[in-house]
Amino acid sequence: MLRSNLNRSYRSRVRDPERALVESRRSAMQGLDYAVKKTTIVIVILMLVTTALAVYADDTGNEPRSGSAVYRTYCVSCHETGSQGAPISNDRNDWEPRLSKGPDALLIAARSGLNDMPAGTCSDCSDVELKAAIREMTKF
């Protein structure tokens, strides 16, 4: 029975080559559609997993780094010695003109750079961490 169905199908394709071409194209497109759908599903799953991991990483309760830790990692090389015109840590004379502009101005300068201090020196620091580092440098 199976053999006769196969023979019939083969004979019908041989008799009508145009129909055979249409059927083969349809079959190829169905295979391509399946591959695209499968790839799309895999990409969506990977995006969801990546997003979930990022959200989990943000919600792990990590405390912000201390001002001292940020200062020692990113600021000390210039602010310890006054290199390139940076105000020396805990030197009232160096910091008072800057402090008079207010804490927001200091935070903006820490983010976007000022004079020889490049922008983004601590690009992964939060505002809380930068403010803590500024407090660390202005303990006088």
Which CATH number belongs to the domain containing residue 109 in this structure? Answer: 1.10.760.10
Residue 98 CB contacts under 8 Å (≥ 6 apart), including other chains: 87, 105, 106, 109
Same structural domain for residues 48 and 75? no
pLDDT greater than 90 at residue 10: no
Predicted confidence at residue 44, as pLDDT, reads 86
Same structural domain for residues 27 and 81? no
Same structural domain for residues 51 and 78? no
60 DSSP 8-state letter: S
Same structural domain for residues 80 and 50? no
Q: Which segment, 3-7, 23-27, 66-70, 122-126, is predicted with the most confidence on average?
A: 66-70
Domain range for 118 is: 67-137
pLDDT greater than 80 at residue 30: no
CA distance 121 to 118: 6
SS3 120: coil
pLDDT greater than 90 at residue 59: no
* 51: confidence class by pLDDT, cuts 50, 70, 90: confident
Give the length of the chain.
140
Same structural domain for residues 31 and 80? no
pLDDT greater than 90 at residue 27: no
User: How many other CB atoms are there within 10 angstroms of residue 67's CB atom?
Assistant: 21
Instruction: Specify which residues 117 forms β-bridges with.
Output: 114
Same structural domain for residues 9 and 51? yes
Same structural domain for residues 43 and 99? no
